[in-house]
Amino acid sequence: MRVLGIETSCDETGVAVVDGERGLLSHALYSQVALHAEYGGVVPELASRDHIRKLLPLVRQALDEAGTVPSDLSGVAYTAGPGLLGALLVGAGVARSLAWAWGLPAVAVHHMEGHLLAPMLDADPPDYPFVALLVSGGHTMLVDVQGLGRYRILGESLDDAAGEAFDKTAKLLGLGYPGGPALAKQAEHGDPGRFHFPRPMTDRPGLDFSFSGLKTRALTALRDVHSEQDRADVARAFEEAVVDTLVIKCLRAVEDTGAARLVVAGGVGANRRLRVRLREAAEARDVSVHYPALEFCTDNGAMIALAGMLHLQRGEAEDLTIQARARWGL
């Protein structure tokens, strides 16, 4: 079975072809980061228009690079939500139209399911069951994954997502968009002992998160701050606090479920300090940690093609209605 996958939920246009036996055959990605940078964040209308411009050329590129023609395909998968509604509608409209024209089934994929299945693109994928930490710009959640489609949310953010907190704090630090990688870079030169930020909601039981207070804490710290070094110290304290909080909750989730594997996915999963700390802490408890390749940590078409293929293999496809949901529970 061979499936074309389309991702347009936010500011990346991603298209990929996945094969049931040979794995990922091609993936093409266009990032709109430069388009939104001057506005300091994603402008939904501009995102939709750019997806329209880029999507069909990327479909052609992904098919060519995979040496695939439409008659080789078994289906077209697309991100149906959650995300920016206009952006989702572009992907959904194009995917459904191609599927209809090529006489194929279309599969609506949940964006977060795409992220949590991304490690399955690996040559050595983790076995089920596992606990997944999904940390992106829009979501922070811990999920107990028993198998395909068998997901139980253990905890999630009550306010800002981890990536959103990185982006907002980076803005306070005068860093560009997207802020996460820029803040992490600045934090490298920071003194971890200079400021102490709280580890929100770790002093009580439960697996929910709250990151908006850290941004306020950064704002307070920045009042007496003038030099580049001062700013690096604030960035470091913020990053330490987010990473520590995520590590504490992951270990708690692993303990609660008795899982032997932890999967980390979503854009913040690219954070180096998080990767190092989590691996050390988990391995000390005989828990293995799996990360998707860096390029599949952030939004991409490959994870959507894969999730779509796994659902199609179970005989799941949809009728002709175009699905797109800005909000959609996992």
Handedness of CA 261, 267, 271, 272 (dihedral sign): positive
Q: Which does 268 bind (CB under 5 to 8 A by kind): ligand KG4, Zn ion, none?
A: ligand KG4
Q: At a CB cut-off of 8 Å and minimum separation 6, what does 216 contact?
A: none
Q: Please, what is the minimum distance in Å from the beta carbon of residue 167 to ligand KG4?
A: 5
Residue nearest to ligand KG4 (CB): 267
Stretch touching ligand KG4 by CB under 6 A, among 131-139, 150-158, 208-216, 247-255: 131-139
CB 46 within 8 A of CB 9: no
Nearer to ligand KG4 by Cβ, of 306 and 312: the residue is 306
Handedness of CA 272, 276, 277, 282 (dihedral sign): positive
Pick one of 13, 48, 79, 136: the residue that binds ligand KG4 (CB under 6 A): 136
C-alpha to C-alpha distances, 186 to 165, 175, 226, 228, 277, nearest whole angstrom: 15, 9, 15, 9, 18
Residues β-bridged to residue 108 = 78
Pick one of 13, 74, 136, 300: the residue that binds Zn ion (CB under 5 A): 136
299 is an interface residue for Zn ion by CB under 5 A: yes
C-alpha to C-alpha distances, 309 to 68, 142, 317, 328, nearest whole angstrom: 16, 24, 10, 20
299 is an interface residue for ligand KG4 by CB under 6 A: yes
Residues 4 and 124: their CA atoms lie apart, in Å, by 22
Q: Please, what is the minimum distance in Å from the beta carbon of residue 271 to ligand KG4?
A: 3
Q: Please, what is the minimum distance in Å from the beta carbon of residue 148 to ligand KG4?
A: 21
Pick one of 78, 298, 305, 324: the residue that binds ligand KG4 (CB under 6 A): 298
The answer to whether 299 is a known ligand-binding residue is: yes
Enumerate the known binding-site residues for Fe cation: 111, 115, 299
